[in-house]
Amino acid sequence: MNLDQSNEMTAVIKEKPAKGAKVITKKIPTDIEPHEVLIKVLATSVCGTDFHIYNWDEWSQNRIKPPLTVGHEFAGEIVKVGDHVKRLKEGDIVSAETHIVCNDCDFCRSGQGHICQETQIIGVDTDGCFAEYMKMPAENCIINDPTVDPKFLCIQEPLGNAVHTMLHFDITAKTTAVVGCGPIGLMAVNVAKVVGAGKIIAIEINEYRRNLAKELGADVVINPLEENVVERVLEETGGIGVDVIGEFSGNKMAIEQAFKYVKLGGKMSMLGIPNHKIELDLANDVVFKGITIYGVVGRKMYDTWHQVQGLIKRLDLDKVVTHTLPLTKVDEAMDIMASGNSGKVVLIPTKSE
């Protein structure tokens, strides 16, 4: 193990219950448990959750307990392994499933750890990866292909959300709509393209992200501020609607509209979190249409990760990652996120900052 001689590192923390974040120096967490590993973080990406925590919105106020090292999407090198760790070794390049589960409840014991009610999330409930070093349970670590750039490896966790959402239902040769083209929605467009979806329809209000959706494989891009989405989607699908919808926006109107243009017998995977109650004509838009609705929670442990690793070299991740900054530029990263004019924003925690 070759650590900084001072045994200190740079980290970004939520110091107090207020907007913002603070760059500090703190001790490297070398006190790992027998089942844990210590990881030197090579790259970490900014998630919408990190943005919520930074802005200290209502959700954050009810969930986060400062001080806390934030961040949960990363790639890094293992520099120390606990005494009970067998599968991993020093030098492995890893990312991690960010949901730490109990492994003892009915859900975990039946292969449904992604909905474990005792889940703790790194960077939310425990110290995260906006730091030069972090520790993780060994069982959560995914061994990466070391030939892939860490700035692409670090986005596998949100990519897993896109993959889980889009591939829960068969989309090969199916008309597919991606509702909301934030970073995960953009990845979903690219996943749909790579796995051979039929016509891919992207729905997004932000011009930057509409253009990026086109680059990543969308055949049709709709601005709901300028067009009637239901009419346009029906026009693009010969009047019968979309086979499969991936919902990433969480927008009340967008979700309600989606139920109007989903095809009879169609499928809906829903990842976006609404801020308002959704009003549905349950009889006509769900029951009589015979549609299937699937709620997406994180990634299936660990099936989704296997799918992600099979796709990572085929996707256009060089277009998905639009900004790379030093870790200490976290305020600038959050400003970029706030603008909406970005895909994934990656932070690099280097001593040369």
Catalytic positions, written as ranges: 49, 52
User: What contacts 32, CB < 8 A, 6 or more positions away?
Assistant: 38, 80, 82, 135
Tell me which residue of 197, 198, 203, 151 sits closest to 182, measured CA to CA: 203
